[in-house]
Each structure stands twice: as structure tokens, then as C-alpha cells.
């Protein structure tokens, strides 16, 4: 999709998308935005006002009205923003996506969006509208045969022009917002496509190739460790998970460094990279659960998507992207339940459940990240079904002992619209992981399962500020909603990028 900025007024367009606020106050009635009201009066003989009344369109959130009209605008979409005082960036994204879905139904190719005075930071608003436009338009047909002539496929809207009042006075700020949105969306789409691809396509070597390609395209440093190199580093936990697979484990380490000047801070992003999780000998017995387990590299996908975006946006921050990629399979070489593994920090783990494999791979990845001497580590992982039970499919669980990091990530998520909710790292629950024979077991009781998983990870970070996001719910969507389409969501990329950019700002100004 082509995205560009323009100046009002809205005069002519194949399709116009107009944002409408709901009337505020008890007895206030809905009225069309001025630009549309005057066109309606002059050329449409009040048809739009009539349709709005008939359809009871009143500018409420998640409402829209799509009309076919005689020129100069032949397709008109009104979308509701609700109460102006309650407007958020995320509501603006959702309204934009809903409106563009309507434009798609009208088979519009070129759409002009007319940004109102949102009362929000207008530069942020432009970024949000652009993100929503790019993300709602993404459709993934890589694995379908080419469409037949009579078949329509793909999103109809090819070109979006965003009209911004006062564009000329702050052109550079708005162009930067558009660039941030473009790179964040591209990173999110990379993540979506990695997650959506099946386990016979996105294998550990394929993930490593993606990392190598990013390195080549953007001038990042890349290091891929194979089984022997991981063994030399003592990564017994990661290699234990990998041992039954016919595919080689790949420990991926990408590094972005600013080209000029010293980095203002050093950060590490770690992603769980199980390209398929069969459960191992504690095999997943539910056919629907096991068939979803190509998504078990959603953390890795988010980290690689963030790498793409950050490498393009070039902040003055050094960022390490780390993924211990493998499958969790069964064979004569599989881990036996009860096996004891030694992680690279020397801690021993009794594997009482081979399906709690993500934490084993992350253990060695976190130890590796901390050795780099970074100022903070954030990991993302489709770690537990328990987190989906607790928070549902749209919200990630945030676990961290660090108040400042918690606030920073909440703030980044407020900007991105990706929902996170902090859950407690209740230390007393670590008792649930006590082992008779090793330093710890890898699973505890069923209750509080996402907390014990996070406490397990905590054993592998000594002193670096660290946060863990359990993204098992939001990695996948069961239906189209707002700018998220059914399937892989690319969850996490935009929050990670916002967080890194905010760290850059904070460090530069202190
Ligand atoms: N990859 C799964 C978690 C998961 C569940 C991700 C649902 C996405 C959707 C993880 O490896 C797993 O199997 N966790 C177990 C842990 C249990 C054995 C303690 C779980 O959640 O059931
Ligand atoms: Mn598992
Ligand atoms: Zn898993």
C-alpha cells in the first residue's frame, strides 16, 4: 500500500474516509463534520444526512456508514470516534481499520483520510492512522495457488492519502511519524508471516536464514551457533529440548549498533523460538492444541520483526536480538520425563514435563543475554496456556521484578495499543518447583502456571533489569478485529520498538 500525506480541504476523491465524533452532552444530536455537511448540502441534496439518520449513525466507536454517491466523491465512508474527550490512539487505529474495511467492500482503490483535530498528539495520531492502514491491508496468500480470473483476492485499497491540517508547519515531524509507522508495520508483517508459516517452512535453519537476510539487508552483525558451539557454551537446557529433532538447533544472535557515535544504552530482546512444539514425550494430546504449535516461535518472530524496524529507524541504541531456535519433537533420542539437564549458568533442572520446553530454551538464551553486559533484557514467549486462561487471547502477561521497566513497558504498550497486564512474580510460589534431585524442576502445580514459569526464567538472570512477556494469547487471532486480521498478529513488534525508542529518548536527555 502507498501512503502519503496531504493538506485539506477534502474536495475530490474516489473514496473519502471521514472521522465523526459522537455528540457530547445529554441532548446533543449528531451532526456531520463541517466539510461533509457543506458538500452534502451543495451537491448531495442532504442524502448523507438522511442516510446517517436512517442508519442511526451517530459517530459511536466501532460504527461506520458506507455510501455510494454521485461525484465529486463517489464513495464515502463515515467512521465513529465516539466521545472526543475519551479518544485514544488505539480507538483511532480501530476506526481507521474499520473504515478501510468498508472502503474495501466498496472496492475502492484510492482512499483519502481526513484527520480531524483529535485532541491527541497529532504526530502520534498520524503514526497510529498509518500503522492501522498498513496493518489492516496485509493479507497473506503465500501458500495459496494463484487466484482464478473471476476470483478477487487481496485488499482493494492500494493508495491512502492522509490529509493533515497544518501539515506544512510541521512537515518533517509528520514525515517521521509516517516512517516510524511504515517500519513498524513492516516489522509486524514480517512477524505475522513467520508465525503464520507452517513448521515445515519456518524451521530453525529457516529462522536463521531470516536473521542472516536481515543482517545483509540492514548491515547488522549476525552470529548463528549450531549444536556443537552451543555445547561448548554449556547450553544443556536448550540442547536437551533440541535433542530429538532431525533439524539442527540454531542459536541466533543479531546485533544492531548505531553507525555513528556511541550507543546511549545497550539492550537485549530475547524471543522463544520453538518452530514446533509437539510437547515431547509429554505429547500434546489435544489435536487442536498441537496443530497451533507452529505459533510457538511468536516471541522469536516479534524479536526479528523489531530487529527489522529498528535497523531501519536507526536509534542511537545498541540492541541484541537473541533466539534459541529449535523444535520440540519425539524420537528415540527424546528427553525422558525426569531427565536432569545443566544450563549454561551451572544450574541443574529436573525435566518433570517435556512440554514445559520454552523455559528450558529461554534459560540458556537469558544467560547468554546477560553475559553481553546489557542495561536491560526483555523476553517474549508463547510460554503458558495458563496465561491465556488468566488474561484471555488479547492480553499479554508482564512479569518483572523491576518497577521502572514495568512502567516503561506499560507506557510503550499504551502507545502501541498492544495490551499487557502485569502479573505478580510471587516468590513463595517458587517452592512449587523444588526438586528432590536437582536445583529445580521445570514445572510446578497447575495453579499459577504462568507465575511459576516466570519464576523459573528469573533463576537465569542474576542482576540485569529483566522483564518477561507471556504472549501465548495474543500471538494469534481467531477473527478479524480492528487492524488485526484473523491469524498471526505480529504481536509485540510495535511495543518493543516503542520501548527501545523511548529508552533512547530518555538516555539522550539525561
Ligand atoms: N507452547 C506452549 C504454551 C502455549 C499454549 C502457547 C497455548 C500457545 C498457546 C508451552 O510450551 C507449553 O506447552 N506449556 C505448558 C506448560 C505446562 C506443561 C506446565 C502448558 O501451558 O500447558
Ligand atoms: Mn510446550
Ligand atoms: Zn512451547
Measured distance CA(166)–CA(126) in Å, rounded: 12
Which atom from ligand 1 is nearest to the alpha carbon of 328? 11
Q: Per CATH, is 2-165 categorized as 3.40.50.150? A: no
**Given the residues 284, 316, 419, 422, the one annotated as active site:** 284
Q: Which residues of the chain have pLDDT under 70?
A: none
Residue 211 CA, ligand 3 centroid: distance in Å? 21
DSSP 8-state code for residue 429: G
Q: Is 504 in the pocket of ligand 1 (CB under 6 A)?
A: no
User: How high is the pLDDT of residue 158?
Assistant: 97
Residue 296 CA, ligand 2 centroid: distance in Å? 8
Q: Is 63 in the pocket of ligand 1 (CB under 6 A)?
A: no
Residue 135 CA, ligand 2 centroid: distance in Å? 29
User: How high is the pLDDT of residue 457?
Assistant: 99
What are the CA-CA distances from residue 70 to residues 15, 24, 105, 153, 187 (Å)?
12, 31, 18, 27, 40
Residue 211 CA, ligand 2 centroid: distance in Å? 24
359 is catalytic: yes
284 is catalytic: yes
The reported pTM is 0.98
Ligand nearest to the CA of residue 473, numbered in listed order? 1
Measured distance CA(388)–CA(75) in Å, rounded: 41
Residue 383 CA, ligand 1 centroid: distance in Å? 6
User: How high is the pLDDT of residue 26?
Assistant: 77
Tell me which residues have their CB within 5 A of the ion that is ligand 3: 274, 277, 296, 358
Measured distance CA(223)–CA(251) in Å, rounded: 8
Which atom from ligand 1 is nearest to the alpha carbon of 382? 6
- The string of pLDDT tens digits covering residues 68-106 is 999 799 999 999 999 999 999 999 999 999 999 999 999
Candidates 350, 352, 355, 386: which one to mutate for ligand 1, based on the most atoms within 8 Å of Cβ? 355
Measured distance CA(358)–CA(347) in Å, rounded: 16
Measured distance CA(110)–CA(157) in Å, rounded: 6
- The string of pLDDT tens digits covering residues 187-230 is 999 999 999 999 999 999 999 999 999 999 999 999 999 999 99
Q: Is 357 in the pocket of ligand 1 (CB under 6 A)?
A: yes
Domain 182-509, architecture per CATH: 3-Layer(aba) Sandwich (3.40)
Candidates 472, 474, 488, 492: which one to mutate for ligand 1, based on the most atoms within 8 Å of Cβ? 472
| Residue nearest (by alpha carbon) to ligand 1 atom 5 | 385
Which atom from ligand 1 is nearest to the alpha carbon of 444? 19
Domain boundaries, given as residue ranges, for the chain: 2-165, 182-509
Measured distance CA(445)–CA(203) in Å, rounded: 32
User: How high is the pLDDT of residue 24?
Assistant: 82
Residue 424 CA, ligand 3 centroid: distance in Å? 21
Residue 323 CA, ligand 2 centroid: distance in Å? 16
Q: Is 277 in the pocket of ligand 1 (CB under 6 A)?
A: yes
User: How high is the pLDDT of residue 386?
Assistant: 98
CB-based contacts of 37-45 (< 8 A; 24+ apart in sequence): 39/72, 39/73, 43/70, 43/71, 43/72, 44/69, 44/70
Q: Is 356 in the pocket of ligand 1 (CB under 6 A)?
A: yes
* DSSP assignment of 172-200: HHHHHHHHHHHHHHHHHHHHHHHHHS-TT
Q: Cis omega before residue 434 (within 30°)?
A: no
Give alpha helix (H) positions in 314-431: 358-371, 385-391, 403-416
Give alpha helix (H) positions in 107-203: 122-137, 171-196
Q: Is 385 in the pocket of ligand 1 (CB under 6 A)?
A: yes
User: How high is the pLDDT of residue 161?
Assistant: 98
Candidates 274, 337, 384, 488: which one to mutate for ligand 1, based on the most atoms within 8 Å of Cβ? 384
User: How high is the pLDDT of residue 79?
Assistant: 98
Amino acid at each position: 500500500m502507498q501512503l502519503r500525506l496531504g493538506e485539506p480541504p477534502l474536495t475530490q476523491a474516489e473514496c473519502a474516509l471521514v472521522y465523526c465524533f459522537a455528540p457530547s452532552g445529554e441532548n446533543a444530536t449528531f451532526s456531520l463534520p463541517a466539510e461533509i455537511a457543506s458538500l452534502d448540502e451543495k451537491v448531495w441534496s442532504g442524502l448523507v444526512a438522511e442516510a446517517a439518520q436512517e442508519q442511526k449513525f451517530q459517530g459511536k466507536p466501532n460504527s461506520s456508514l458506507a455510501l455510494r454517491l454521485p461525484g465529486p466523491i463517489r464513495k464515502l465512508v463515515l467512521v465513529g470516534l465516539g466521545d472526543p474527550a475519551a479518544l485514544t490512539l488505539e480507538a483511532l487505529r480501530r476506526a481507521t481499520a474499520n473504515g478501510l474495511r468498508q472502503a474495501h467492500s466498496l472496492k475502492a482503490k484510492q482512499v483519502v483520510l481526513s484527520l480531524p483535530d483529535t485532541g491527541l498528539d497529532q504526530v502520534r495520531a498520524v503514526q497510529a492512522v498509518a500503522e492501522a492502514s498498513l496493518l489492516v491491508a496485509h493479507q497473506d496468500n503465500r501458500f495459496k495457488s494463484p487466484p482464478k480470473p473471476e476470483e478477487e483476492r487481496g485488499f482493494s485499497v492500494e493508495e491512502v492519502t492522509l490529509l493533515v491540517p497544518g501539515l506544512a508547519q510541521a512537515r518533517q515531524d509528520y514525515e517521521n511519524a509516517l516512517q516510524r509507522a511504515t517500519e513498524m508495520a513492516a516489522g509486524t508483517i514480517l512477524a505475522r508471516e513467520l508465525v503464520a508459516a507452517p513448521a515445515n517452512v519456518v524451521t530453525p535453519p529457516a529462522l536463521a536464514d531470516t536473521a542472516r537476510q536481515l543482517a545483509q539487508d540492514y548491515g547488522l552483525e549476525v552470529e548463528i551457533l549450531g549444536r556443537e558451539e552451543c555445547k561448548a557454551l554449556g547450553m544443556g537446557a536448550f540442547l536437551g529440548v533440541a535433542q530429538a529433532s532431525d533439524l539442527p538447533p540454531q542459536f541466533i544472535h543479531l546485533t544492531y549498533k548505531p553507525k555513528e557515535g556511541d550507543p546511549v544504552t545497550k539492550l537485549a530482546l530475547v524471543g522463544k523460538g520453538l518452530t514446533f512444539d509437539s510437547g515431547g514425550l509429554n505429547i500434546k494430546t489435544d489435536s487442536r492444541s498441537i496443530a497451533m504449535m507452529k505459533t510457538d516461535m511468536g516471541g522469536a518472530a516479534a524479536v526479528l520483526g523489531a530487529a527489522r524496524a529498528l535497523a531501519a529507524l536507526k536509534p542511537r541504541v545498541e540492541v541484541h536480538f537473541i533466539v534459541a531456535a529449535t523444535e520440540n519433537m519425539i524420537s528415540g533420542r527424546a528427553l525422558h520425563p525426569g531427565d536432569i539437564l545443566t544450563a549454561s549458568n551451572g544450574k541443574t533442572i529436573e525435566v518433570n514435563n517435556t512440554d514445559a520446553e520454552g523455559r528450558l530454551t529461554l534459560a540458556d538464551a537469558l544467560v547468554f543475554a546477560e553475559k553481553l553486559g546489557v542495561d536491560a533484557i526483555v523476553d517474549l514467549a508463547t510460554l503458558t496456556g495458563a496465561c491465556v486462561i488468566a488474561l484471555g487471547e488479547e492480553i499479554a502477561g508482564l512479569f518483572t521484578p523491576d518497577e521502572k521497566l514495568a512502567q516503561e513497558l506499560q507506557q510503550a504498550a499504551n502507545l502501541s495499543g498492544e495490551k499487557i497486564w502485569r502479573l505478580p512474580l510471587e516468590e513463595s510460589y517458587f517452592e512449587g518447583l523444588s526438586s528432590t534431585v536437582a536445583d529445580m524442576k521445570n514445572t510446578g502445580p497447575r495453579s499459577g502456571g504462568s507465575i511459576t514459569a516466570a519464576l523459573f526464567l528469573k533463576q537465569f538472570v542474576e542482576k540485569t533489569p529483566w522483564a518477561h512477556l507471556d504472549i501465548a494469547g495474543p500471538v494469534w487471532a481467531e477473527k478479524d478485529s480492528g487492524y488485526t486480521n484473523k491469524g498471526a498478529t505480529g504481536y509485540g513488534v510495535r511495543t518493543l520498538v516503542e520501548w527501545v525508542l523511548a529508552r533512547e529518548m530518555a538516555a539522550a536527555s539525561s
